[in-house]
Amino acid sequence: MPLIQRVMIVGGTHGNEFTGAYLIKKFEQHPHLVHRASFETITLLANPKAFLAVRRYIDKDLNRCFQQVELQDLTLSSYEDIRAKEINYFFGANGKTPVDAILDIHTTTANMGLTVITDEHPFNLRLAAYLQSINPLVNVYVLPQSEQEYSLPSICKFGCTIEVGAVAQGLLQADLFRQTEALIDTALNYLEQYNQAEILSFDSKLTFYQHHGTIDYPRNESGEIQAMIHPQLHFQDYKSLTPGAPMFLTFDGEAIAYEGASTVYPVFINEAAYYEKGIAMCITQRQQAIF
C-alpha cells in the first residue's frame, strides 16, 4: 500500500454539530496540533452556511450528497449538492489535491460516547482497533462501504467518521470536545506511524458492532410518530436488547416490545436528525476480531 500523503480533518459537515466545527477553528488557529512530519494535514469546515445558520443543512443533508452519479449530475444545484461537488473537485481521487484519508467529526444526540464509524477495509479496521487499544472506551461501529457511499468520507478510501454523544445540537460540551480532540490526535499519530513503517504493537482484539439495519418509530397513516423511545432503552446505545424487552412507549403509556428473533445492540437511539429519515435506532450485532 502506498504512503499517506494528505489527510483531511473535517468538521461541520452538519452545521449544528458544533464539536467538529469548533475543533476545525482551533486546528486552523494552531496548525502545529495536527501537523505531522510525513504527510500534509488539511482542515475543512464542510458546511459553513449551515454552521452559521445553526442547522444540519440548508437544502439537504450534505453527508448524503457524495454518490458518484450525483457528483457528476449538473442538474443537481442545491447548496449542498454544489458544495459536495466543490469538495470532490478539490479533494476527491481526481481532484486538485486529492486526500488519502479523512477524519470526519460528527456529534449525535444518542449516547454513543466516542464512536468510530468505519467500513470493512482492513486498513480502517486496524486504525479503529488501534484507537480502541489506546482508549478502551472507544466504540467501533462497522457500516459496509455500500451503506455509506453517499457520505463525505467516501471520496477517499481511508479514514473514518468520529461520532460523539450524547450532545444536543447547537452547543458545545467541554468534556466531549477534549475527548474528541484526543481521538483525532491519536488517529494522526497512527497514520504517521504507518507512514514510517513502524510496527505498532497493541492489543489486537477489536470489539465492534456490525450494522444490521434500522428500526423506525411507530407511525400513523400520515407519517406522524405514535410513540417515543422507551425510558428503559433511552441512552442505552451499545447495550443488549433482547426479544420481548420494551422498545417504545406510546403517548398513551403503552409499552411496545422489541419483536426480533435474537439479541441485538442498538445505536443511534433517539438521534434527533433521524426522525425525518425514519430511523428510531440502528441495529447492530456485537462481534470481535483479531488484528
Q: Which residues are catalytic?
A: 163
Question: Of 20-28, 117-125, 136-144, 145-153, which segment contacts its own copies by CB under 8 A?
Answer: 20-28
The three three-digit cell numbers of residue 105, written as one number = 467529526
HSE, side-chain direction, 13 A CA sphere, residue 128: 31
The three three-digit cell numbers of residue 257, written as one number = 416490545
Phi, psi torsion values for 178, nearest 5 degrees: -70, -40
Question: Of 74-82, 112-120, 146-154, 250-258, which segment contacts its own copies by CB under 8 A?
Answer: 250-258
Q: Is 36 annotated as a binding residue?
A: no
Strand (E) or helix (H) holding 83? helix 79-91
Q: Which of 82, 171, 200, 289 binds its own copies (CB under 8 A)?
A: 171
Question: Of 98-106, 136-144, 168-176, 208-216, which segment contacts its own copies by CB under 8 A?
Answer: 168-176
Phi, psi torsion values for 207, nearest 5 degrees: -95, 125
Distance, CA of 219 to CA of 156 (rounded, Å): 37
What's the distance, CA 162 to chain centroid? 5
Q: Is 182 in the site for its own copies (CB under 8 A)?
A: no
Q: Which of 1, 69, 74, 174 binds its own copies (CB under 8 A)?
A: 174
Distance, CA of 191 to CA of 37 (rounded, Å): 11
Q: Is 228 in the site for its own copies (CB under 8 A)?
A: yes
Q: Is 172 in the site for its own copies (CB under 8 A)?
A: yes
Q: Which residues are annotated as a binding site for Zn(2+)?
A: 14, 17, 106
Residues that bind its own copies (CB under 8 A): 22, 25-26, 30, 54-55, 109, 166-175, 177-178, 224-225, 228-231, 234, 249, 251-253, 270-273, 275-276
